Amino acid sequence: MAQQQWWKGAVIYQIYPRSFQDTNGDGIGDLPGIINRLDYIKSLGVDAIWISPFFKSPMKDFGYDISDYRDIDPMFGTLDDFDTLIEQAHQRDIKIIIDQVLSHTSNQHQWFIESRESCDNDKADWYVWADAKPDGSAPNNWLSIFGGTAWQWEPRRCQYYLHNFLTEQPDLNFHNPDVRKAVLDNVEFWLKRGVDGFRLDAINFCYHDAQLRDNPAKPKELRQGRGFSEDNPYAFQYHYYNNTQPENLAFMQEIRALLDLYPGTVSLGEISSEDSLQTMAEYTADGNKLHMGYSFELLTKDYSAQYIRQTVSTLESVMTEGWPCWAFSNHDVERVASRWSKDGKTVNDQQAKMLTALLGSLRGSVCMYQGEELGLGEASVAFEDLQDPYGITFWPNFKGRDGCRTPMPWEPKQDNSGFSSAKPWLPVSNEHVSRSVHSQAQQDNSVLKFYQEFMAWRKQIPELIYGDIEFIETAEPTLAFYRKHNGKTLLCAFNLAQTPATLTISLDQPDECQLRHHTASYDGTKINMPSYACYFAYL
């Protein structure tokens, strides 16, 4: 196991820094807050932390609109704080992965400020500019994920610029080699500071179709949301031309070549395309592109054994060389403890434990979002408290991403549950207070205790970290598969429902794994599985 690359089978804990821990009393989490909680993170048994953007930004999209890629926004701290974080994390054998938002910048970035001034300055071709149609309308029919046209008029140039996300997030022109070089120079700045890898935001959005061809319409019955709701006009098109262009594969190779100069570093690409699983395979193929990719395919409301089995099996069939990474929650989607609950709202502790075990048993690496280890559900945020422009635009059908971004609950008896001494940027959820870290640390049967126990156990099971996966055809609501490594086979079985279930299967003297929350049993002919049970046995 020691000879394997550290990121294969790693558990990566995602931190949304605005909501993790505030130390300076401004109601917003910061880098010193992460440093203060490193011992807690270490207790979770994770291998790395992925920190969402903390760079200088006007915060129109809460850090995913970057105005300076080489500096820390003062609300989060300083470069010295970041260097301390790297040092302190590494002392605890925790790797640091940071977000890189390469496809677009803030409209307050100096590159864009220069680019928009004229059509003949040094940065004139660094963004995606296009003339209006003869009637003054946008160059084509491309739409923004955040609503409306993806084009914004700029009177200084008398041209439109492309923004796949907010108007304040203009897209860079990756057809320009100077842009690619400058972007990679920014990436290397952080490699030189000692980061262990990058989560690459919307990485398939770097290139656009140079001919600016219209996207074709998508029939209503085929519309589905992956990171956006189905009533969003963005779902009405096939996005064949505004992202996932073939030229992007060569850029993935450039990223990999840079990272290969820094042994042990890793790239994890966020991919949302018309066929995200196929794109994941392409972007991680041949050992010369990204190390890992993940998509929104298990971040949806779809919850069944058949859906999970089909999603993972499909990726396994097309990803012959790359390495997958799976997630059930992140900062962009409703928390899984609510999203996949029986009524779509009420958290069930046993289900939260089972989902931790299931995610940690799939082949690949794992991203766990802060609070997932506590079984936090989606927080209710009143309209007047919303911060997310996405939710404000699409309210009330889609309430945006604030419900998964509320502050971490640390201490139930402290102000704002120990997150901050000041009014937090988003309210602390009343439903979360009883699920605080301190509360669950005192409860022997808590979701947190199970999480810690499972992750410690998983580290001792090479089949779960490195093994192949082979699914067993089972009836709903049971999901089962084998993990095989070095001649050993581990059976993993799960009941996805609140009602008891049985899995009829012939096992020859199974060696059941001793996990304290091991809730199912084999009686010689079938596995009896109580509510949200999991079962592990060597065959």
Which residues are the active-site residues? Answer: 201, 270
User: Strands 526-529 and 521-522, how do they pair?
Assistant: antiparallel
Alpha helices per DSSP H over 294-384: 305-318, 336-339, 349-359
Amino acid present at 84? T
Tokens of 431: 């439903």
CB 395 within 8 Å of CB 468: no
DSSP lists the bridge partners of residue 14 as 50, 369
* Residue among 251, 263, 252, 219 at smallest CA distance from 238: 219
Produce one character per residue of 70-109: b if its CB has 16 or more CB atoms within 10 Å, e if not: eebbebbbeeebbeebbebbeeeebbbbbbbbbbbbbbbb
Give residues with Cβ within 8 angstroms of 306, minimum separation 6.
476
Peptide bond preceding 396: is omega within 30 degrees of 0, i.e. cis? yes
Give residues with Cβ within 8 angstroms of 294, minimum separation 6.
268, 269, 270, 271, 280, 324, 325, 326, 327, 367
* Residue among 312, 267, 320, 276 at smallest CA distance from 99: 267
* Residue among 488, 493, 491 at smallest CA distance from 462: 488
Distance from first CA to last CA of the chain, Å, rounded? Answer: 21
Other Cβ atoms within 10 Å of 177 Cβ, number: 8
Task: Tell me the C-alpha distance between 203 and 257, whole Å.
Answer: 16
CB 178 within 8 Å of CB 77: no
Query: Is 281 in a helix, a strand, or coil?
Result: helix
Task: Tell me the C-alpha distance between 443 and 388, whole Å.
Answer: 34
Other Cβ atoms within 10 Å of 241 Cβ, number: 20
* Residue among 319, 188, 189, 325 at smallest CA distance from 257: 188
Task: Tell me the C-alpha distance between 481 and 464, whole Å.
Answer: 11
CB 489 within 8 Å of CB 539: yes
Task: Tell me the C-alpha distance between 280 and 277, whole Å.
Answer: 5
Task: Tell me the C-alpha distance between 169 and 166, whole Å.
Answer: 5
